[in-house]
């Protein structure tokens, strides 16, 4: 599953390691669910307000549960 769109990780992600990894993934146009999950965990809950997840199956369901839990 690919995430269609991206978070502005340079501004939001406090971890330089995660930010670098996310930007490298973005350049290859394949920000995966696992990387998205890592970024989401690194963000303060107050930052995550609204997101659109495009996809189907268990990966999309897991991402939606994580987003709901974090907000």
| pLDDT tens profile 22-71 | 556 555 545 566 677 777 777 766 665 555 555 555 665 666 666 665 54
Residue 49 within any structural domain of the chain: yes
Tell me, rounded to whole angstroms, the distance of Cα 67 from its chain centroid.
9
Residue 1 within any structural domain of the chain: no
| Poorest-pLDDT segment among 1-5, 10-14, 27-31, 36-40 | 1-5
- Provide the domain count of the chain: 1
Domain of residue 61, residue span = 9-70
Residue 3 within any structural domain of the chain: no
Residue 4 within any structural domain of the chain: no
Residue 60 within any structural domain of the chain: yes
- Alpha-helical regions (H) of the chain: 9-12, 16-27, 33-42, 58-70
Residue 53 within any structural domain of the chain: yes
Q: What is the pTM of this model?
A: 0.30
Q: What tokens appear for 49 in the block?
A: 């307000």
Residue 15 within any structural domain of the chain: yes
Residue 31 within any structural domain of the chain: yes
Q: What tokens appear for 57 in the block?
A: 């199956």
């Amino acid at each position: 599953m690919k995430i269609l769109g991206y978070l502005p990780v340079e501004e939001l992600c406090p971890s330089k390691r995660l930010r670098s990894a996310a930007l490298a993934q973005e350049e290859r146009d394949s920000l995966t669910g696992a990387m998205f999950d890592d970024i989401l965990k690194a963000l303060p809950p107050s930052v995550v307000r609204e997101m659109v997840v495009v996809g189907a199956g268990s990966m999309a369901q897991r991402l939606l549960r994580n987003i709901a839990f974090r907000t």
